[in-house]
A and B are shown apart, each in its own frame.
Chain A
Amino acid sequence: KNQVEQSPQSLIILEGKNCTLQCNYTVSPFSNLRWYKQDTGRGPVSLTIMTFSENTKSNGRYTATLDADTKQSSLHITASQLSDSASYICVVSDRGSTLGRLYFGRGTQLTVWP
């Protein structure tokens, strides 16, 4: 069964600190992996997207890594800000259909305290 598991489920950090969120997946065949940020009551917004051949990608203070062999990804947030408080969702796409089926994790709820 294709699955995407994220950890931790929730995380609280102090402003200015770094943190790393984890994503493990069993989706096969693999096409790409995305990280989204979803603010409360809003739709997800894309942070990064990585294909099989990419093992790291940055977007400002966000850096995603991908190990396609172990089927693991991480999202590292540097120098956290209050506005980083949100749910971070890992999404994996297969290439088994023309739709490019997406498999969603349940997200990690990050809270940044001042």
Chain B
Amino acid sequence: EADIYQTPRYLVIGTGKKITLECSQTMGHDKMYWYQQDPGMELHLIHYSYGVNSTEKGDLSSESTVSRIRTEHFPLTLESARPSHTSQYLCASSVVNEQFFGPGTRLTVL
């Protein structure tokens, strides 16, 4: 089991609120990723990072933003949550050919 953590695991919040989903890994991996996954659907890459101060948007357009100030930390922020943001958000980090996933944050926006 990989050492990658996400908090909170579950979040229910009202429309318009600002939220930050936390992701941290203790493996020293340079590459980190955020995926969005709806029930029964494939994972979609929304953000990735090659290392500190490096962030890129993924394939799926997202209103969220990310930052990478420290190697081990890759938080995702939504400035104003909407019901369309309701989904599961998975963080991952990688080395060579292997990606390790966190447990995910289940976000519900009312």
Contact A106–B103 (Cβ < 8 Å): no
B40, B42, B45, B92: the one within 8 Å of A43 (CB): B92
Q: From residue B6, how far is it (CB to closest CB) to chain A in Å?
A: 8
B1, B31, B41, B50: the one within 8 Å of A106 (CB): B41
Given the known inter-chain contacts A42-B103, A99-B48, please indicate yes or no for A106 contacting B97, CB distance below 8 A: no
CA distance A51 to B98 in the complex (A): 12
B46 interface residue (CB < 8 Å to A)? no
Number of A-B residue pairs having CB atoms within 8 Å of each other in the complex: 49
Smallest CB-CB A-B distances: 6 pairs: A43-B101, A104-B42, A104-B43, A106-B42, A44-B101, A43-B103
Chain B interface (Cβ < 8 Å from any Cβ of A): 1, 4, 6, 31, 40-45, 48, 50, 88, 90-92, 97-104, 106
Closest to B35 in A: A104
Contact A93–B97 (Cβ < 8 Å): yes
CA distance A106 to B41 in the complex (A): 5
B42 — which chain A residues lie within 8 A by C-beta? Answer: 4, 89, 104-107
Q: Which of A26-77 contact B (CB under 8 A)?
A: 31-32, 36, 41-46, 49, 51
A98 — which chain B residues lie within 8 A by C-beta? Answer: 50
A100 — which chain B residues lie within 8 A by C-beta? Answer: 97
Contact B97–A41 (Cβ < 8 Å): no
A51 — which chain B residues lie within 8 A by C-beta? Answer: 97
Q: From residue A30, how far is it (CB to closest CB) to chain B in Å?
A: 12
Q: From residue A47, how far is it (CB to closest CB) to chain B in Å?
A: 12
CA distance A93 to B44 in the complex (A): 14
